[in-house]
Amino acid sequence: MAGSIAVPSVQSLFLELRFRGQVLGTATGFVVCGKHGYYLVTNRHNVTGRHQDTGEPLSKMAGVPDEIAIQHNALGALGSWTKTVEPLFTDSIPRWYEHPRLGSKADFIALPLSQLAGIQMYPYDPASPGPPIHVGPADSVSVVGFPLGRSVSGYVAIWASGFLASEPDLDYDQLPVMLIDCRTRPGQSGSPVIAHRSGGMVPTIGGGSAVYSGPVTRFLGIYSGRIQHESDLGFVWKASALAELMAKL
């Protein structure tokens, strides 16, 4: 792949949600590292195939996935990909893990990865999300994923940028969720949400600032869809909530 590429562009992974090999839909995920190995993180509604609130099937075919195909980065070959397939169930029991306190109320899960040969990992660490970039209401954020199943030059992710729409230290609807104002589309569910700055003088948490010689990124959370179809306001489950899940794995 010619030229330089921003790391977040390859940290987001293209997913196919499948039932007996038939594609029901596409989504986005990313890798985190737990104490016992690597996990794929994506939305819970992606792996259940059902609307998070109503339980209605998301696929027009009314099917729910039994496996997930992942386009991983190939080992030592940036710009190439290796497809793996992970089962979602073992003897009808879900393989994924949910938040230890919120359970099914939290629209994100961690699926242990079993197919690791030939794969280059670029994980996020929710417990150590990056430089202390200040992000407040109206500050820019990016949803890095695959809108409508689209990608660039293979499976390089697309950046949709918008603005933080709620106070990050406050919870929306009594859940560890903040809101963003960003025009998103199906396929971006499960995307990492980041604050990415190109460098120079950057405001930092606590009211100060720092000078960075190059790009810096702070992981903010995982995108899980819009509050309603008519709105560009979307849900972001906070990195701190994801860190709580990973601390139990």
Locus of tokens 């990608």: 151
DSSP string, 171-189: -BTTBSEEEEE----TT-T
Q: Is the pLDDT of residue 215 over 70?
A: yes
Q: How confident is the model at residue 54 (pLDDT cuts 50, 70, 90)?
A: confident
Q: Is the pLDDT of residue 2 over 60?
A: no
Nearest Cα neighbor of 217 from 4, 3, 73, 8 is 8
Which range (94-98, 123-127, 206-210) has the least confidence?
206-210
More confident: 3 or 21: 21
Per the prediction, the chain carries an average pLDDT of 95
Q: Is the pLDDT of residue 3 over 60?
A: no
CA distance 244 to 141: 23
Handedness of CA 55, 49, 52, 35 (dihedral sign): positive
Q: Is the pLDDT of residue 115 over 80?
A: yes
Nearest Cα neighbor of 94 from 30, 29, 24, 44 is 44
What six digits make up the tokens of 19?
A: 């039932």
Distinct helix (H) and strand (E) counts, the chain? 3, 17
Handedness of CA 87, 243, 116, 14 (dihedral sign): positive
Q: What is the mean pLDDT of residues 6-12?
A: 96
Question: In order of start, what are the domains of the chain with their CATH numbers?
Answer: 7-120 (2.40.10), 140-240 (2.40.10.10)
pLDDT in tens, 162-198: 999 999 999 999 999 999 999 999 999 999 999 999 9
pLDDT in tens, 124-140: 999 999 999 999 999 99
Q: Is the pLDDT of residue 56 over 80?
A: yes
Rounded to two decimals, what is the model's pTM? 0.95
